[in-house]
Amino acid sequence: MISNWYCFLRIIIRPKQQYAMKVCFHHSKPNYLLSATRDDCVLFFDLRQERSAFTFENGGAHVRDVKFAYNSHILFALADANGMVKFLNVQKPAKPVQLFTAHGGPVLSLDFNPLVENIFATGGRDKIIQIWEYQSTKTKLEDSIITSAPIGQIHWNPLKRTQIASSTLTTDFEIQVWDI
């Protein structure tokens, strides 16, 4: 079956003449967009404006993933090549609200649980999926899953609060679904 869609280009964004490595819309604010660029920056866009609202420079570490928190209109997290996760506030982006070492190597993916407030997961080159609870003063490790290969992507099931899927960076073409 072929469907004909009436599509049109709404806007073109050229962030700093750099590749956008990751992009992420906010789940409830349709004009909010994050872009992780190749030059170690995260750009926040409000699509009602012509240019980025702010740029956060990650101090020389490649940003591997970026996501908005589900339970907040202003909080987002980035994962970087140094194994760090940093939480930032879009209203005060000059410095992270919180940062911590999540993995012993690059964090390649992160995702917030859409059904459980303050729970998120990270996946790294170290072959581990970490489940975390974000708290305003400290992030707490809740669980770890050791896998057979470096983690390329992770995503929570939007309808099952304890299910997370992962894909590997290797050529085994596996997608693994975990129930935690």
Predicted confidence band of residue 160 (pLDDT cuts 50, 70, 90):
very high
Q: Which of 26-35, 36-45, 100-109 has the highest mean pLDDT?
A: 100-109
Phi, psi (deg, nearest 5) at residue 102: -100, -30
Predicted confidence band of residue 172 (pLDDT cuts 50, 70, 90):
confident
The DSSP symbol for 129 reads E
Q: Which of 67, 107, 70 is nearest to 87 (CA)?
A: 67
Q: What is the pLDDT of residue 133?
A: 97
Domain ranges (residues) in the chain = 20-179
Per-residue model confidence as pLDDT tens digits over 118-157: 999 999 999 999 999 998 889 999 999 999 899 999 999 9
pLDDT at 7 over 70: no
pLDDT, average across residues 97-124: 96
Tokens of 38: 């190749």
Architecture of domain 20-179: 7 Propeller (2.130)
pLDDT, average across residues 104-120: 96
Reported pTM: 0.87
Predicted confidence band of residue 61 (pLDDT cuts 50, 70, 90):
confident
Mean pLDDT across the chain = 88
Per-residue model confidence as pLDDT tens digits over 8-33: 556 666 655 567 788 999 999 999 99
pLDDT at 2 over 90: no
* CA–CA gap between residue 175 and residue 180 (Å, rounded): 16
* CA–CA gap between residue 9 and residue 50 (Å, rounded): 15
60 vs 110, higher pLDDT:
110
